[in-house]
């Protein structure tokens, strides 16, 4: 994972735009600050691994993977803003708006969102994947990051604050807020490789299950971990009066459910035979994570 993360970091930096005016340099610096602040790089890893087990290559999938990570990073910048979660820490560092100011952080998120689609149709992406695959990738990422995907999930989250809800409501929200970009990651890898329909279906099932398990574990860590370990404030869900799986189901049931979802994800990879070993290991890695 560390070697893969290093490769992703280098590619992300290489895709950053160059400022053509000194007044814009602060914006690019703000983009780079959050884009290179660390993280597990879960989504790029899924994109690349699904491309590889479907007969593609890391090189061809990497532009798609990096574009997706830019979308994910923009969402984190905006999540941390005072008008949203109002967080001071992200991955153990001051959040973007604490360093660059609220206005610049807002623009940095917008810039990453916009630039992601430039990367998807860049000369490199087209050379490695062809126009048709790049267009498909734009469609998938637009849908998964949009109103009925990640943004829709975020809106449901905002509307749910301070209200009593149930586990099914949380599932719908998290399938959009967290699961949509996980599914996008799997789909982009399949698109890059020209995967068969049954491979794409299995990839989506895997991504959907680990996406929900990922969110349940996040809710658990917000209760059981520390700010030092997580690199962000713990207990914020309770402070923001958010319904969580832990609050609704309890820790024991959350552990059971996250394990069940992980095994479902692993089972969905059976059509890939031994080629899916890394993705199976990765599912269990996410299940056991402590941050």
- The domain limits of the chain are 2-287
Q: Which CATH architecture has domain 2-287?
A: Orthogonal Bundle (1.10)
Q: Which two tokens stand for residue 5?
A: 């993360």
Cβ(216)–Cβ(287) below 8 Å? no
Cβ(216)–Cβ(254) below 8 Å? yes
Q: Residue 77 pLDDT more than 80?
A: yes
- Extract long-range pairs of 245-249: CB within 8 Å, 24+ residues apart: 245/167, 245/170, 245/215, 245/216, 245/219, 245/220, 246/219, 246/220, 246/222, 248/165, 248/166, 248/167, 248/170, 249/167
Q: Residue 52 pLDDT more than 90?
A: yes
Highest mean pLDDT among 61-70, 87-96, 210-219: 61-70
Q: What is the mean pLDDT of the chain?
A: 92
**Global pTM value:** 0.93
Q: Residue 241 pLDDT more than 70?
A: no
Q: What are the φ and ψ backbone dihedral angles of 94, each rounded to 5 degrees?
A: -60, 140
pLDDT value of residue 239: 62
Q: Which two tokens stand for residue 138?
A: 């734009």
Q: Residue 235 pLDDT more than 70?
A: no
Alpha-carbon distance of 74 to 71, in angstroms, equals 5
Which residue matches tokens 């491309």? Answer: 51
Cα 129 to the center of its chain, rounded Å: 22
Tens-place pLDDT, residues 100-136: 999 999 999 999 999 999 999 999 999 999 999 999 9
The torsion of the CA quartet 163, 289, 109, 211, rounded to 10 degrees, works out to -60
pLDDT value of residue 21: 92
Query: Any residues with CB less than 8 A from the CB of 224 and at least 6 apart, and which?
Result: 251
Tens-place pLDDT, residues 150-207: 999 999 999 988 888 888 999 999 999 999 999 999 999 999 999 999 999 999 999 9
């Amino acid at each position: 994972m560390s070697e893969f993360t290093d490769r992703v970091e280098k590619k992300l930096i290489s895709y950053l735009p160059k400022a053509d005016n000194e007044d814009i340099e602060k914006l690019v610096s703000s983009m780079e600050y959050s884009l290179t602040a660390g993280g597990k790089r879960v989504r790029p890893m899924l994109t690349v691994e699904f491309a590889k087990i479907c007969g593609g290559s890391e090189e061809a999938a990497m532009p798609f993977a990096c574009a997706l990570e830019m979308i994910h990073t923009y969402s984190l910048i905006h999540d941390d803003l005072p008008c949203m979660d109002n967080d001071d820490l992200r991955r153990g560092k001051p959040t973007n708006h604490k360093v660059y100011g609220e206005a610049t952080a807002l623009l940095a998120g917008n810039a990453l969102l916009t630039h992601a689609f430039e990367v998807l149709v860049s000369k490199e992406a087209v050379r490695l994947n062809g126009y048709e695959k790049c267009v498909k990738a734009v469609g998938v990422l637009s849908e998964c990051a949009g109103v009925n995907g990640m943004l829709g999930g975020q809106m449901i989250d905002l509307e749910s604050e301070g209200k009593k809800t149930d586990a099914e409501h949380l599932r719908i929200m998290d399938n959009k807020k967290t699961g949509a970009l996980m599914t996008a990651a799997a789909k982009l890898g399949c698109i890059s490789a020209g995967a068969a329909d049954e491979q794409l279906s299995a990839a989506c099932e895997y991504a959907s299950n680990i996406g929900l398990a990922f969110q349940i574990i996040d809710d658990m860590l917000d209760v059981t971990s520390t700010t030092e370990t997580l690199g962000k404030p713990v207990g914020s869900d309770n402070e923001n009066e958010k319904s969580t799986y832990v609050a609704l189901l309890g820790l024991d049931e959350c552990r059971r459910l996250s394990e069940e979802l992980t095994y479902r994800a692993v089972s969905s990879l059976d059509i890939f035979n031994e080629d899916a070993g890394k993705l199976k290991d990765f599912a269990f890695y996410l299940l056991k994570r402590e941050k």
